[in-house]
Structure 1
Amino acid sequence: MLVLPAVDILKGQVVRLYEGRAEQATVYFQDPGEAALFWQKQGAKMLHLVDLDRALGQGENTAAIRRVAQSLHIPFEVGGGIRSLEVLQEVLGLGAARAVVGTVALKDPLLLERMLALAGERLVLALDARKDEVVVAGWKEGTGRRVAEVLQAWRVLGVRTVIFTDVSRDGTLQGLDLEAVARVREAWPRELIAGGGIASEEDLLALKALGVDGALVGKALYEGRIDLRRWG
């Protein structure tokens, strides 16, 4: 199972948020490039970069992501505020192996289809949920739609990869809601990456047992609860 370290960038720094709240950010690295190289040296096979400022509609960190891209020799994916074809092309142009889209995938089906036509399997869809309700716009807005309903629609479109995050647990180190992940695994037979609350290697083993393809891990790695060298 692939373990992807999360490098979330807010105002040029690498942070972890508590339940997605920007006002509850813990800074782990001043320089995203330093964080990326650290995880690469620890054996990461792929990195997950997020532009939190763009996701929250308060700026962007393109220059920082470009510097990261130039320093890495492993693949990386980029998410956060990709809500137009122009931004999608920009992200892919930086060298990202994959682009991660969330809000557009729920709010603008026609644009989503155009993005899939442009990026194909390089487009990954983020399914962020709180108590089975899918949320968007930096996790600030509820959609009123259920997880299973959204997954069914994405299957019809031919989406290959989904990242599922339980936002009520993200950054809390409370451990996974394995029942929620199991429901997603059952509803999504294609590539599935899960995150949100991963606190220990036991969580990773549980995901592996469910047949999940990858784990998105943040705070547990930054605080030394998981040794990436055992999973890289």
Structure 2
Amino acid sequence: MEIFPAIDLRNGQAVRLKQGDYNQITVYSSSPADVAQEFKAQGARNLHVVDLDGAKDGSLSNFDTVCEIIKTGGLSVQVGGGIRDEQRIQKYLNLGVERVILGTSALDRKFLTHMIAKFGSQIAVGVDAKNGKVAIKGWREVCDIDSVQFCRELADIGVQTIIYTDISKDGAMSGTNMEIYHQLAKEVNCRIIASGGVCFEHEISQLSALGTYGVIIGKAIYTGAINLAKAIAIADGKQEV
């Protein structure tokens, strides 16, 4: 299983939100590229980057920061946040991003099907859920769409990777929604990346046992609740909890 340490970007800084609330923001670093290299030094192979400004208003204000992160090298980077057209997808892929994450734009099935046909495994879909319903536009709007059913439909049209986030757990440091990942493992035939609230080592072990493809860890790393190097060792099956 792969571990994806997370860097959320706001105004060029590495930050964390609590439960997707832009009014509950903590700034961790003014140099996200340095944070990426710290993760790499601890053994990280992957990186999950979200442009919070892009998710909120569709801007590309953090593109140069993503560029700096990519240039530091040595990490497989997936990027999401405000990516709603083919031009932006291509711009990120040309930069060297491994995988582009679609969120709100994935609700447009015609667009999504076309992007999957064109870019294949380089497209992932972020399914953000609140009370089991899909949330969009930087988590500010909740649709009347069942999140698990949506994941099944995504897999059926060819999406190879889904990043599923339970918003209520994100940044709360109370543990992740393990029940939903059990359900997704049984019902959705594609790679699932778990996101939101992972802050205990035993959760990493449990998610690995489910066959989960990857786990995104954010606040738990920044606060020291989880040691990144140890998390990677657990995910690789080289260390027991």
- Both structures adopt the same fold (TM-score exceeding 0.5): yes
> Does the CA contact (< 8 Å) of 1:130 and 1:167 recur in 2?
yes
Q: Establish whether residue 6 from structure 1 lines up as the match of residue 6 from structure 2.
A: yes
Alignment of 1:107-118 (within 5 A): 108-118=108-118
> Does the CA contact (< 8 Å) of 2:76 and 2:97 recur in 1?
yes
Tell me, in whole angstroms, the C-alpha distance in 1 between the residues paired with 2:200 and 2:28. 19
Structure 1 unaligned blocks of 5 or more:
none
- Matched with 2:100 is 99
- TM-superposed CA distance for 1:152, in Å, is 2.2
Which amino acid counterpart does residue 216 of structure 1 have in structure 2?
Answer: I
Ranges of 4+ aligned residues in structure 1 off by more than 4 Å: none
Which amino acid counterpart does residue 181 of structure 2 have in structure 1?
Answer: V
Q: Establish whether residue 136 from structure 1 lines up as the match of residue 121 from structure 2.
A: no
Alignment of 1:161-172 (within 5 A): 161-172=161-172
Query: Can you list the C-alpha shifts for 1:135-186, whole angstroms capped at 9, x where unaligned?
Result: 1111111110002221221122111111110011101111011112211221
> Does the CA contact (< 8 Å) of 1:48 and 1:77 recur in 2?
yes
Query: Can you list the C-alpha shifts for 1:165-222, whole angstroms capped at 9, x where unaligned?
Result: 0011101111011112211221213211101111111221121222211101000011
- Matched with 1:89 is 90
> Does the CA contact (< 8 Å) of 2:58 and 2:82 recur in 1?
no
Tell me, in whole angstroms, the C-alpha distance in 2 between the residues paired with 1:180 and 1:40. 30
Q: Establish whether residue 71 from structure 1 lines up as the match of residue 72 from structure 2.
A: yes
Report SS of the residue matched to 1:168: helix
Tell me, in whole angstroms, the C-alpha distance in 2 between the residues paired with 1:67 and 1:5. 17
Tell me, in whole angstroms, the C-alpha distance in 2 between the residues paired with 1:72 and 1:78. 15
TM-score normalised by the chain length of structure 1: 0.96
Report SS of the residue matched to 1:199: coil
- Matched with 1:52 is 52
Kindly tell me the number of residue pairs found equivalent between the two proteins: 231
- Matched with 1:120 is 120
> Does the CA contact (< 8 Å) of 1:18 and 1:170 recur in 2?
yes
Query: Can you list the C-alpha shifts for 1:103-147, whole angstroms capped at 9, x where unaligned?
Result: 1112x1111112112211110111110111011111111110002
- TM-superposed CA distance for 1:77, in Å, is 0.7
- Matched with 1:203 is 203
TM-score normalised by the chain length of structure 2: 0.93
Higher mean C-alpha deviation, range 197-206 or range 212-221: 197-206
Structure 2 unaligned blocks of 5 or more:
233-241
Query: Can you list the C-alpha shifts for 1:38-78, whole angstroms capped at 9, x where unaligned?
Result: 11111111001111101100632000110111112121111
Report SS of the residue matched to 2:145: strand
Q: How high is the sequence identity, in percent, across the aligned residues?
A: 35
Tell me, in whole angstroms, the C-alpha distance in 2 between the residues paired with 1:62 and 1:148. 31
